[in-house]
Amino acid sequence: MDIAVLGYGVVGSGVAEVISLNEKKITDKLGGERINVKYILDLRKFPGDKNEDKIIDDFNIILNDGDVKIVAEAMGGLHPAFEFVSSCLKAGKSVVTSNKELVAEKGDILLETAKENNVNFMFEASVGGGIPVLRPIIQCLAGNDIDEVAGILNGTTNFILSKMIFDSMSFEDALKLAQEKGYAEKDPTADIEGFDACRKICILAALCFGSHVYPKTVYTEGITKITLEDVEYVRSWGGVIKLLGRAKKAGDKISAMVTPALVKNSSILSGVNGVYNAVLVRGNAVGDVAFYGQGAGKMATASAVVGDIIDCAQNIGKNKGIGWNKAADGAVIDISETETSLYVRASGCKDSSLEKAKEIFGDITVLSRDNAPEDEFAFVTPEGKEGALREKLEKLDGTELLSVIRTVNY
Ligand code: HSE
97 C-beta closer than 6 A to ligand 1:
no
Average pLDDT, the chain: 97
Name which residue sits closest to atom 4 of ligand 1, judged by CA: 296
Report d(CA 166, CA 178) in Å as an integer: 15
296 C-beta closer than 6 A to ligand 1:
yes
Residue 263 pLDDT more than 90?
Answer: yes
Mean pLDDT of 234-260: 97
Residue 360 pLDDT more than 90?
Answer: yes
Higher pLDDT, 127 or 329: 127
**For residue 249, what pLDDT is reported?**
96
Instruction: Cite the DSSP H helix spans in 122-184.
Output: 134-135, 155-167, 171-180
Residue 187 pLDDT more than 90?
Answer: no
Mutate to test the pocket of ligand 1, among 133, 163, 183 (most ligand atoms within 8 A of CB): 183
Contact yes or no for 176/183 (Cβ under 8 A): no
Query: How many angstroms separate the alpha carbon of residue 95 from the centre of ligand 1?
Result: 20
Q: pLDDT (tens digit, 9 = 90+) per residue, 294-318? A: 998 899 999 999 999 999 999 999 9
At 8, the amino acid letter reads Y
Mean pLDDT of 132-150: 97
Residue 200 is a catalytic residue: yes
Query: How many angstroms separate the alpha carbon of residue 128 from the centre of ligand 1?
Result: 8
Query: How many angstroms separate the alpha carbon of residue 345 from the centre of ligand 1?
Result: 29
Mutate to test the pocket of ligand 1, among 126, 175, 191, 195 (most ligand atoms within 8 A of CB): 191
Contact yes or no for 171/164 (Cβ under 8 A): yes
Classify each residue of 84-122 as buried b or exposed e, where b means 16 or more C-beta atoms within 10 Å of its C-beta.
bbbbbbebebbbbbbbbbbbbbbbbbbbebbbebebbbb
Query: How many angstroms separate the alpha carbon of residue 11 from the centre of ligand 1?
Result: 11
Band (pLDDT 50/70/90 cuts) for residue 196 is: very high
Tally Cβ neighbours within 10 Å of residue 409: 12
Query: How many angstroms separate the alpha carbon of residue 25 from the centre of ligand 1?
Result: 27
**For residue 331, what pLDDT is reported?**
94
Nearest-atom number in ligand 1 for the CA of 197 is 6
Nearest-atom number in ligand 1 for the CA of 185 is 1
Band (pLDDT 50/70/90 cuts) for residue 227 is: very high
Residue 128 pLDDT more than 90?
Answer: yes
Query: How many angstroms separate the alpha carbon of residue 305 from the centre of ligand 1?
Result: 14
Residue 402 pLDDT more than 90?
Answer: yes
How far CA 306 is from CA of 51, 128, 193, in Å, comes to: 17, 15, 29
Residue 216 pLDDT more than 90?
Answer: yes
Q: What percent of the chain has pLDDT over 70?
A: 100
Catalytic residue among 100, 200, 242, 248: 200
151 C-beta closer than 6 A to ligand 1:
no
**For residue 260, what pLDDT is reported?**
98
Report d(CA 373, CA 250) in Å as an integer: 42
223 C-beta closer than 6 A to ligand 1:
no
Band (pLDDT 50/70/90 cuts) for residue 182 is: confident
Band (pLDDT 50/70/90 cuts) for residue 60 is: very high
> What's this model's pTM, rounded to 2 decimal places?
0.97
Residue 125 pLDDT more than 90?
Answer: yes
196 C-beta closer than 6 A to ligand 1:
yes
Query: In what helix (H) or strand (E) does residue 253 lie, and over which residues does it extend?
Result: strand 253-264
Name which residue sits closest to atom 7 of ligand 1, judged by CA: 296
**For residue 252, what pLDDT is reported?**
93
